[in-house]
Amino acid sequence: MSWVAVARKDFRDAIRSRMFWALAIVFGLLSIGIGGAYGYFTDELARSVPANEAGIGLVFFVQSPITIFIMFISAIICHKSIVGEWEQGSLKLLLSLPHTRSDVILGKIVGRAGVISVPAIGSLVLGLGLGAALLGGSVLTSVDFLAVAAGFLVAILVYIALYVSIFVGVSAITRSSSLAVAGSVALIVLQFFWSIILSILFILLESTFDISGNADWMYLLRMLMPNTAFNEVLNASLSAMTEWPLSANAGDIDAVYASPWVAAVILVLWIVVPVAIGYWRFESADL
Amino acid sequence: MAAIEIRDLSKQFGSVTALQNLDLTVETGEVFGFLGPNGAGKSTTIDILLNHVNPTAGSARVFEMDVQDQSISVRERTGVLPEGYGPLGRMTGRKHVEFALQAKRADGDPQTILDRVGISNAADRRVEDYSKGMKQRLMLGMAIAGSPDLLVLDEPTTGLDPNGARRMRQIVQAEAERGTTVFFSSHILEQVEAVCDRVGILNQGRLVAVDTIDGLRETAGATGLLSVTMASIPDGLVETIRERDGVTSVAIEGTTLVVGCENAAKGAVVADCYEAGIVENVETSEASLEDLFVSYTEGES
């Protein structure tokens, strides 16, 4: 259980840095800004919907910018977690004590996930609370809203675990900080351009093969990125919790594989595979 | 039981040979000095003992445990002061010692340990504000935390002022009296001379000598330096001298040949010079321990 000590040290070191406080403040402002703006600018028509629906709209309004922000923050905070200490030599210090290398990787993941989770959850509670209060009526006390908001916070913790795991994995795979930066940036850029890449791919395939009849398999390709897979699972889970009609992408497609469960499996693979490769590389490496 | 048993250990980094067929045994309770110039392979040896680096060939055991297969057990019984360890984090000195105690699953009072290394007054300051010497003392404190059976010190006096270096020696001696085995690496002979029972001299990845300090002194006493100044140094002379029995090193300084050799070989060397050219002056001196160390590690031996 030595990873607990590593995680605690990593977390303690982080919260003593200015970087952490800058992160917490930006996170708080962003969350309060977005939540508050939604609550403040929602017009009368939108306000007239039932309280639970207004509240759920708020959660989804906050979701997209916050998740993208978390993705960036995770990259910044995690890409050097292993390779940076490797280059500086402080990894030798940590591993001169009786910690295993898996203790170090797991400890880093848990520690850095904590570093992001604490300001993330704090800020979201404030932001959603403020937004719901501004929406007025009974939104803040609507059971549906509270359930969806709680579900969303749990989902955000999963999302943080996802990206911290990916970027710590990248950090353990690479042998230099600059490669870790390149790898992390490449993954983020790929996600932003994924739908465009798929569209181009689709056009190319369409002009070559006769596939016009059925393109359901595109669903699987779309789900390959961690963000799309996460959103699919989140939408499916939240719509299962409420009467709100947020069907997941899979809902429109009639194929066995078009299921949020497939997206869930892809999500788990993203949490496990990069870090597993990182562990495999790091475990037997010369420091 | 041997504290450290190294058998035929080799390490290649790409095309660079860091260690070549190293054989070394350090007995329990011994204070062993591991001497050699920078880049001789001292840190590589220590890295292999701690499983930071995998050997290319050979094996190493600490307290009869394989350093690769039983690395955690090895490190639980070992206190380490690594070289070039990088930043330590942002916690206080006390927290660092607690962290080391916790990792080794040992009881101990951080304050007492910080007191022993002489930084108890800075216990609650963050280590970012420590000077280099204070960091080195803290690292020593983390190394002795949990009363390890083996203490591995890699260039421990780097960054220490004379006071700090003396305190370091006192701690090493106190640990040795407690029965701890100490493996002390350094490129400075006098650091090792003062505390070690035995020393091993490493050069270019090879162990060139293992002996007690007294034994080395005897060897040094039996050898000397011979300086022969000549009008000019004829071709082939250096090679002729180098091939003589008892000659350990030959260096050229201007038109002077500096020959490290056993006293018995001096006459033959001088005779070689007379035969080959015009000798202007001959000086001879006894080698010090330092000279011996230099002759072992200058690459001519």
The three-state DSSP-derived secondary structure of A132-165 is: HHHHCCCHHHCHHHHHHHHHHHHHHHHHHHHHHH
What ipTM score was computed for the predicted complex, to two decimals? 0.83
User: Chain B: nearest CA to A18, how far in angstroms?
Assistant: 11
**Which of A97, A100, A281 should one mutate to test binding to chain B, selecting the residue with the greatest count of B CBs within 10 A?**
A97
Instruction: Provide the number of structural domains found in chain A.
Output: 1
Residues B119 and B256 in one domain: no
User: What single-letter amino acid sits at B176?
Assistant: A
Task: Summarize the confidence of residues A64-87 as an average pLDDT.
Answer: 92
B234 with B142, same domain: the answer is no
In degrees, to the nearest 5, what angle opens at C-alpha B80 toward C-alphas B74 and B81?
165
Tell me if A16 and B80 make a contact (CB, 8 A cut-off): no
More confident call, B208 vs B97: B97
DSSP state of A211: -
Q: Minimal Cα distance from B144: which residue of A?
A: A97
Lowest-pLDDT choice from A29-38, A126-135, B222-231: B222-231
Residues of A in contact with B85 (CB under 8 A): 89-90, 92-93
Q: Is residue B193 part of a domain?
A: yes
Q: How many folded domains does chain B comprise? A: 2
Rounded average pLDDT over B240-248: 85
Structure tokens belonging to residue B35 = 């001497």
Query: Is the distance from CB of A91 to CB of A104 less than 8 angstroms?
Result: yes
Q: pLDDT tens digit string along A138-156?
A: 888 888 888 889 999 999 9
Mean pLDDT of B27-40: 90
Taking only the tens place, the pLDDT of each residue in A181-214 is: 999 999 999 999 998 998 888 888 878 777 665 6
Domain co-membership, B26 together with B100? yes
Which CATH number characterizes residue B61's domain?
A: 3.40.50.300
What whole-number distance in Å separates Cα of residue B242 and Cα of residue B260?
10
The stretch B51-77 carries a mean pLDDT of: 94
> What's the pLDDT score for residue B301?
38
Is B120 found in the same domain as B148?
yes
Among candidates A9, A90, A91 on the partner chain, residue whose Cβ is nearest the Cβ of B99: A9
A252 DSSP 8-state letter: G
Give the pLDDT mean for A227-243: 84
Q: What is the pLDDT of residue A205?
A: 82
Tell me the nearest-neighbour CA distance from B166 into chain A, angstroms.
24
> Mean of the pLDDT values across residues B99-107?
90
Q: Which two tokens stand for residue A28?
A: 């708080």
Per the listing, tokens 């595109």 go with A218
Q: How far is CA B252 from CA B231, B239, B256, in A?
A: 13, 12, 6
Using a CB-CB distance cutoff of 8 angstroms, which residues of chain B are in contact with residue A286? 13, 47, 52-54
**Mind listing the pLDDT tens digit for each residue in B119-159?**
999 999 998 889 888 888 999 999 999 999 999 999 888 77
The model's pLDDT over B233-243, given as tens digits with 9 standing for 90+, comes to 888 888 888 88
User: Pick from B82, B90, B95: which is nearest to A92 by CB?
Assistant: B82
Q: Where among B148, B171, B204 does a domain terminate?
A: B204
Closest CA to A104 of A160, A169, A18, A187: A169
What band does B299 get if pLDDT is binned at 50, 70 and 90?
A: low
Q: Does residue B212 lie within any of the structural domains? A: no
**Cβ-defined contact of A90 to B86 (cutoff 8 Å):** yes
A191 CB near a chain B CB, below 8 Å? no
- Give this prediction's pTM: 0.84
CB A68: neighbour CB atoms within 10 A? 14
Same domain, B148 and B21: yes
Range of the domain at A153: 2-283
Among B85, B91, B94, B136, the residue to mutate for chain A (most A Cβ within 10 A): B85
The per-residue pLDDT for B152 is: 95
Identity of the residue numbered B190: E
Residue contact A93–B88, C-beta within 8 A: yes
DSSP 8-state symbol, A42: -
Q: Which of A9, A91, A97 sits opposite B75 (nearest CB)?
A: A97
Judgement on whether residues B140 and B186 belong to the same structural domain of the protein? yes
Q: Which of B204, B229, B259 is the last residue of a domain?
A: B204
> Which residue of B43, B48, B51, B129 is the best one to mutate when testing the A interface, meaning the one whose CB has the most A CBs within 10 A?
B51
Q: Chain A partners of B89 at a C-beta cutoff of 8 Å?
A: 9, 12-13, 90
> Is the Cβ pair A92, B85 closer than 8 Å?
yes
- Tell me how long chain A is: 287
Distance CA B21, CA A49 (A): 80
CA closest to A17 among chain B residues: B90
Most confident of A103-107, A202-206, B249-253: A103-107
Residue B38 to residue B186: CA distance in whole angstroms: 9
* Pair B16, B140 in one domain: yes
**Can you give the pLDDT at residue B4?**
95
Four-residue CA torsion sign, B190, B192, B196, B199: negative
Q: Is B154 left (phi over 0), alpha (psi -120 to 50) or beta?
A: beta
Angle at A139 between CA A134 and CA A141, to 5 degrees: 120
Percent of chain A with pLDDT strictly greater than 70: 91
CB–CB contacts below 8 A, A to B: 78
B235 within some domain? yes
Would the CB atoms of B72 and A9 count as touching at under 8 Å?
no
Same domain for B67 and B192, yes or no, is yes
Question: Are B194 and B233 within one domain?
Answer: no
B259 pLDDT above the threshold of 90: no
- Cα A194 to Cα A275: distance, rounded to the nearest angstrom: 22
Residues of B with CB under 8 A from a CB of A: 13, 47, 50-54, 71-73, 75-76, 78, 80, 82, 84-91, 95, 99-100, 102-105, 126, 139, 142
Selected residues 59-118 of chain A with any CB under 8 Å from a CB in chain B: 85, 88-93, 95-100
- A99 contacts in chain B (CB < 8 Å): 103
List phi, psi (to 5°) of A136: 75, -160
Per-residue pLDDT, A248: 53
> Which has the higher per-residue pLDDT, B221 or B167?
B167
Do residues B227 and B249 make contact, with C-beta atoms less than 8 angstroms apart?
no
For residue B291, is pLDDT > 90? Answer: no
Residues B109 and B185 in one domain: yes
Amino acid residing at B99: F
**Mean per-residue pLDDT, A28-40:** 92
Is the same domain home to B15 and B132? yes
Q: Which amino acid is at A75?
A: A
Find where tokens 């190319």 sit: A204
The two tokens of residue A207 are 């002009």
| Chain A residues touching B47 at Cβ < 8 A | 92, 286-287
- pLDDT tier at B300, thresholds 50, 70, 90: very low
- Chain B residues within an 8 Å CB radius of A96: 50, 52, 75, 78, 80, 82
A286 touching chain B per CB within 8 A: yes
Q: Is A19 on the interface with B (CB under 8 A)?
A: no
Q: What is the CA radius of gyration of chain A?
A: 21
Mean pLDDT of all residues in A40-55: 74
For the cut 70, the answer to whether the pLDDT of residue A256 exceeds it is no
In the listed set B156, B180, B204, which residue is the last one of a domain according to the structure? B204
d(CA B160, CA B132) in angstroms, rounded, equals 8
Residue B50 with chain A: CB contacts under 8 Å: 92, 95-96
Chain centroid to CA B71: 23
How long is chain B?
A: 301
* Residue-level pLDDT at A168: 96
Quick one: CA dihedral B164, B168, B173, B178, positive or negative?
Answer: positive
Cβ partners under 8 Å of residue B47, min gap 6: A92, A286, A287, B53
The domain of B226 spans: 218-297
Instruction: State the pLDDT confidence band at A215, using cuts at 50, 70 and 90.
Output: low
Quickly list DSSP for chain B. -EEEEEEEEEEEETTEEEEEEEEEEEETT-EEEEE--TTSSHHHHHHHHTTSS--SEEEEEETTEETTTTHHHHHHTEEEE-SS-----SSBHHHHHHHHHHHTT----HHHHHHHTT-GGGTTSBGGG--HHHHHHHHHHHHHTT--SEEEEESTTTT--HHHHHHHHHHHHHHHHTT-EEEEEES-HHHHHHH-SEEEEEETTEEEEEEEHHHHHHHHHHEEEEEEEESS--TTHHHHHHTSTTEEEEEEETTEEEEEEEGGGHHHHHHHHHHHS-EEEEEEEEPPHHHHHHHHHSS--
CATH code: domain of residue B260: 3.30.70.100
Q: Which two tokens stand for residue B96?
A: 């660092």
For B91, which of A13, A92, A284 is closest by C-beta distance? A13
B62 min Cα distance to partner chain A (Å): 14
Q: Give the mean pLDDT of chain A.
A: 87
- The span from the CA of A224 to the CA of A124, in Å, is 27
Strand partners, B186: B35
What pLDDT score was predicted for residue A98?
94
Q: Which residue has the tokens 């922000």?
A: A69
Flag whether B245 is in a domain.
yes
B231 and B198 share one domain: no
Closest CA in chain B for residue A95: B52
How far does the CA of residue A85 sit from the closest CA of chain B (Å)? Answer: 8
A93 CA: distance to closest CA in chain B (Å): 6
